[in-house]
Amino acid sequence: MSPEKPLAGKVALVTGASRGIGFAIARRLGQMGARVSICGRDEAKLEQSETTLRGEGIDVLSVVADVAREEQISAFVQKTQNEFGSIDILVNNAGTGLFGPFYEFGEADWDKIMDTNLKSVFLVSRAVVPEMIRRQTGHIINISSLAGKNTFANGAIYCASKWGLMGLSGSMAEDLRGYGIRVSTICPGSVATEFAGQSKKNPDKALHPEDIAHAVAALVTQSAGSFISEVHLRPTRKP
């Protein structure tokens, strides 16, 4: 394993990677030598991201997919395996948010957040795990939030989705550790991205997508005999 390319020969699949945190994670894993498969719903932005990564010498595949749709996930995973081989690293990053008093939202709003932030992790992981079990190796990283550890006004549905993700992730880790598969969760605080439903953050008082990518890099290079189950990331200066 080259110290410059510690993930050479590995395949990583990153959801919600057309921009922001997902794009930064895909770029970092690609720089570490992994072949990277990314998905998103915005075809134009996804193509732009693929072009950027390919221009940096990263071996990348992009597929338009809605991670809340089982048939689209299956096609995405199958195409990745056909073109790159078995998936070694899965980063469940796709997420969205709606913020305001819970009583102002409808059932469709609830379903949108839960499908993207929670159901998708179940569906994508379920599609990838059988091959990881067969090979007795793999690493799944779920991008949660400190909102999965703390509640706040106007964040009811978002918090519920992330608290659910924490429970799902913990149980996934217990279900899979016996097969040599590691499951880790990253809980970032405020990040300077164009996140749905929130105003733009002050970049001087917020995390940056590269900070989360750095945490992912640390997790996937952890020694084989152990795994870091949960990471909390906060900006140095409070927002």
- Kindly state whether residue 5 falls inside one of the protein's structural domains: no
- Kindly state whether residue 203 falls inside one of the protein's structural domains: yes
- Kindly state whether residue 1 falls inside one of the protein's structural domains: no
Nearest-Å Rg of the Cα atoms of the chain is 17
Task: For 57-82, write each residue's pLDDT tens digit.
Answer: 999 999 999 999 999 999 999 999 99
- Kindly state whether residue 142 falls inside one of the protein's structural domains: yes
In three-state form (DSSP H/G/I as H, E/B as E, the rest C), the secondary structure along 146-174 is: HHHCCCCCCCHHHHHHHHHHHHHHHHHHH
Which helix (H) or strand (E) covers residue 84, if one does?
helix 70-84
- Kindly state whether residue 190 falls inside one of the protein's structural domains: yes
Does the active-site annotation cover 103? no
CA-to-CA distance for 91 and 16, rounded, in angstroms?
A: 9
Q: Of 23, 76, 84, 158, which residue is the catalytic one?
A: 158
Question: CATH number for the domain including 80?
Answer: 3.40.50.720
- Kindly state whether residue 72 falls inside one of the protein's structural domains: yes
**In this structure, are residues 181 and 88 in contact, taking their beta carbons and an 8 Å threshold?**
no
Work out how many domains the chain is built from and give that number. Answer: 1
Which helix (H) or strand (E) covers residue 110, if one does?
helix 107-114
- Kindly state whether residue 238 falls inside one of the protein's structural domains: no
Average model confidence (pLDDT) for the chain?
A: 94
Task: For 207-237, write each residue's pLDDT tens digit.
Answer: 999 999 999 999 999 988 899 999 999 998 8
- Kindly state whether residue 92 falls inside one of the protein's structural domains: yes
Task: For 142-164, write each residue's pLDDT tens digit.
Answer: 999 999 999 999 999 999 999 99
